[in-house]
């Protein structure tokens, strides 16, 4: 079959390959009830898919306007195809493809700020959802407070009507909103207490701009915590070609992800909300146990697979799982060290959850690159590894696999090369400062001490000397023999 040149659009829906599911409802009847900030693949494969089920069920209030804050490409690709895109769920040989119609608009904020602010201020909007990644909140990861030295925040405090940051955009929209129009903001990023954290940061930001707004955020706006889960690799030229063959049309915003999906949301909204529970979300009074379980077991193990995988020259998470040493290390890290730090949410079998995670990581149909998961480690490690490590050390427990993971990350940052001597692409704005400290130290012990003194990553509380010694031993093993020496030891 020759590759199709037809681009996915409203007019081309009828011509899609037969097995592809498509919106059966009238998209022109949708209202915009949701504004989403962070128009990456994750939102489109997760919250938008839950919302799509409600639209298909006849509740027309919840069309979505998506906003990109930094990257113009998603909004451009989506605008060229009437904001339609496909999601294919793949595991092994099985695949299910549907076209999602929930998106009504896509804005690139730097070019459309008045429209973004107006969308948040519109009384018909009663939900803002967010996937802006951990670094999108201008938070000092160690103190948890708003980072007033962040250049974006400094810009926005001086120019609150033309903001650049997530907090600045939210505050500008909320300020223009009538006080009596209730709204909820649902943070969908991988952070513990994500809604509570956002409320604190938004209040801290708003109190510098407008005291009344700060009070409204504190008292009137729903900011539920939520736990989101679905493995959604970034698209590649290959995944776009694969999707085009399946659709019979080009979709430059196509997503290929895993079938698994989970969303646990704290039932603490202000004003109307979509009945996401009808689409499989769990609404509950306490999300924290779910967040801790997911952040530590899934994301914690994912990061370890990413750094060990990068050092071994392994391109994808499933390659890393198949590698004898790296795969065994990841299993022990999850099942022995991290599992011991997790209290199961009511009715949960944590061992079964771990088994399912390991199967998901092995999904051979996904090209989930270790380089993608390795990004932004200075933001992720303080959420995924350090709380478990601190709690364990304080209670007198060693976590040998977690310590090896931490040493591997430090070595990855300092060496910038895999064991095969290929240069690694490290994408993390916080990495150079940490890498400099590690590199300029005289020996492994001094390097570990200098790294742990980076309070923005490791916090201000001192670390036990025996722990520092163990990390230093691991680092010298890594310097001498690479990751295989560390994992083989
Ligand atoms: C991953 C997550 O890139 C990463 O850091 O650990 O994006 C992970 O795939 C999702 O949280 C799964 O829900």
pLDDT tens-digit series, residues 46-78: 999 999 999 999 999 999 999 999 999 999 999
**Structural domains of the chain, with CATH:** 13-284 (3.40.50.720), 288-488 (1.10.1040.10)
Mean pLDDT for all residues in the chain: 96
Q: Is 231 in the pocket of ligand 1 (CB under 6 A)?
A: yes
pLDDT at 143: 78
Confidence (pLDDT) at 346: 87
Is residue 479 pLDDT above 90, yes or no?
yes
Q: Quote the CA–CA distance of 5 and 252 in Å, as a whole number.
A: 12
pTM of the model: 0.97
Which atom of ligand 1 is found nearest the CA of 376? Answer: 5
* Structure confidence by residue, pLDDT tens digits, 266-278: 999 999 999 999 9
Q: Which residue's CA is minimally distant from atom 6 of ligand 1?
A: 299
Residue 422 is classified by DSSP as P
Stretch (H or E) spanning 479 = helix 465-488
Q: Could you give the CA distance from residue 193 to residue 177 in angstroms, rounded to a whole number?
A: 26
Please identify, by atom number, the ligand 1 atom nearest to the C-alpha of residue 229.
13
Cβ burial 223-233 (10 Å sphere, 16+ → b, else e): bbbbbbbbbbb
- Report CA(298)–ligand 1 centroid distance (Å): 8
- The preferred substitution site among 226, 302, 353 for testing ligand 1, maximizing ligand atoms within 8 Å of CB, is 302
Indicate the pLDDT class of residue 329, thresholds 50, 70 and 90. Answer: very high
Residue identifier of the C-alpha nearest atom 10 of ligand 1: 231
Give the atom of ligand 1 at the shortest distance from the alpha carbon of 373: 3
Q: Is 357 in the pocket of ligand 1 (CB under 6 A)?
A: no
372 lines ligand 1 (CB under 6 A): yes
Question: What's the DSSP call for residue 65?
Answer: E
Our answer on whether the CB atom of 384 is closer than 6 Å to any ligand 1 atom is: no
Whole-number CA gyration radius for the chain:
23
Nearest atom in ligand 1 to 380's CA: 5
Determine what percent of the chain is predicted with pLDDT higher than 70.
99
CB burial of residue 212 (10 Å; 0-12, 13-18, 19+): exposed
Q: What is the helix (H) or strand (E) element at residue 91, kind and residue range?
A: strand 85-91
Q: With CA atoms as reference, report the closest residue to 379 among 191, 167, 135.
A: 135
The mean pLDDT of 437-454, rounded to a whole number, is 98
CB of 299 sitting under 6 A from ligand 1:
yes
Q: Is 403 in the pocket of ligand 1 (CB under 6 A)?
A: no
């Amino acid at each position: 079959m020759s590759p199709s040149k037809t681009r996915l659009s409203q007019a081309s829906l009828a011509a899609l390959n037969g097995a592809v599911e498509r919106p059966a409802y009238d998209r022109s009847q949708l209202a915009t009830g949701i504004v989403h900030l962070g128009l990456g693949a994750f939102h489109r494969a997760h919250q938008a898919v839950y919302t799509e089920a409600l639209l298909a069920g006849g509740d027309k209030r919840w069309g979505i306007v998506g906003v990109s804050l930094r990257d113009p490409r998603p909004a451009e690709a989506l605008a060229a195809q009437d904001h339609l895109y496909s999601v294919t769920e793949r595991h092994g040989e099985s695949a299910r493809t549907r076209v999602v119609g929930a998106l009504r608009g896509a804005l690139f904020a730097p070019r459309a700020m008045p429209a973004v602010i107006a969308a948040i201020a519109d009384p018909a909007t009663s939900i803002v959802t967010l996937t802006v990644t951990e670094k999108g909140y201008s938070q000092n990861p160690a103190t948890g407070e708003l980072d007033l030295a962040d250049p974006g925040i400094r810009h926005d405090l001086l120019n609150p009507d033309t903001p650049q940051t997530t907090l600045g955009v939210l505050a500008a929209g909320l300020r223009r909103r009538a006080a009596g129009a209730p709204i909820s903001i649902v943070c969908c990023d991988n952070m513990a207490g994500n809604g509570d954290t956002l409320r604190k940061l938004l209040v801290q930001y708003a109190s510098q701009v407008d005291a009344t707004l700060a009070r409204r955020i504190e008292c009137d706006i729903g900011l539920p915590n939520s736990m989101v889960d679905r493995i959604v690799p970034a698209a590649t030229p290959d995944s776009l070609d694969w999707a085009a063959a399946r659709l019979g049309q080009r979709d430059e915003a196509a997503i290929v992800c895993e079938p698994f999906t989970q969303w646990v949301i704290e039932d603490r909204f202000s004003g109307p909300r979509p009945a996401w529970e009808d689409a499989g979300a769990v609404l509950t009074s306490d999300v924290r146990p779910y967040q801790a379980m997911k952040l530590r077991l899934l994301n914690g193990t994912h990061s370890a697979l990413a750094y060990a995988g990068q050092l071994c020259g392994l391109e994808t998470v499933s390659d890393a799982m198949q590698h004898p040493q790296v795969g065994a290390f990841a299993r022990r890290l999850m099942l022995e060290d991290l599992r011991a730090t997790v209290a199961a949410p009511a009715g949960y079998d944590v061992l079964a959850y771990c088994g399912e995670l390991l199967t998901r990581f092995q999904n051979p149909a996904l090209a989930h690159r270790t380089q993608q998961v390795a990004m932004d480690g200075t933001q992720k490690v303080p959420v995924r590894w350090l709380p478990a490590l601190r709690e364990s050390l304080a209670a007198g427990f060693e976590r040998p696999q977690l310590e090896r993971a931490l040493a591997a990350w430090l070595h990855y940052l300092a060496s910038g090369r895999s064991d095969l001597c290929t240069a690694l692409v490290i994408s993390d704005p916080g990495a150079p400062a940490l890498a400099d400290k590690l590199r300029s130290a005289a020996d492994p012990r001094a390097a570990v001490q200098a790294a742990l003194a980076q309070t923005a990553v490791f916090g201000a509380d001192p670390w036990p000397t025996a722990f520092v010694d163990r990390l230093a031993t691991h680092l010298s093993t890594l310097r001498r023999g690479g990751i295989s020496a560390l994992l083989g030891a």
